[in-house]
Structures are given as structure tokens and as C-alpha cells.
């Protein structure tokens, strides 16, 4: 499996894998291969979400107006 370029591509591939596995028509070896790919995609997506979470900013009112600051999510 080629590494996905971005979160959206990884999610699309993950959804396709889930659909294939839910159909139940794959042989065991192919199902295991798809499952392993799905696990890797899940890890990739989790890492991307973690990165995005770090970048989230919170709008805060101060005595000088508004400012952005990192959140503690």
C-alpha cells in the first residue's frame, strides 16, 4: 500500500476497505491483508488528527481585544 497523501485520501481508502470486509466475499488471506492496511490507515489518520489538534487555536477576549492562543485539548 502506498502511503496516503493526506487525511481525506486515507479516510476514503479506509471506507473502501471497510465496505470490502463487510461484504464478506474475500478469502481469509485477502481479508487479513485488508485488515492490516486498515490498521495502518487508522494509525495514519490518528496521527494527522493529533497534529491538527495541536494547531487548533482558541479565540480569547482580552482587555486589548481578541487574540489567538493554543488550546489544551
Looking at residue 55, which CATH number applies to its domain?
A: 1.10.287
Kind plus residue range of the DSSP H or E element containing 50: helix 28-55
In a domain, residue 36? The reply is yes
Is pLDDT larger for residue 47 or for residue 2?
47
In total, how many domains does the chain have? 1
Structural domain of residue 54, as residue ranges? Answer: 7-70
In a domain, residue 2? The reply is no
In a domain, residue 16? The reply is yes
**pLDDT value at position 57?**
64
20-68 pLDDT per residue, tens = 999 999 999 999 999 999 999 999 999 999 888 877 765 566 677 777 6
Record the pTM: 0.74
In a domain, residue 43? The reply is yes
Amino acid at each position: 500500500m502506498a502511503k496516503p497523501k493526506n487525511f481525506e485520501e486515507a479516510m476514503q481508502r479506509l471506507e473502501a476497505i471497510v465496505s470490502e470486509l463487510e461484504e464478506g466475499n474475500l478469502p481469509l488471506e485477502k481479508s487479513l491483508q485488508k485488515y492490516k492496511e486498515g490498521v495502518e490507515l487508522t494509525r495514519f489518520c490518528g496521527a494527522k488528527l493529533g497534529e491538527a489538534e495541536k494547531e487548533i487555536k482558541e479565540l480569547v477576549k482580552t482587555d486589548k481585544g481578541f487574540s489567538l492562543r493554543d488550546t489544551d485539548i
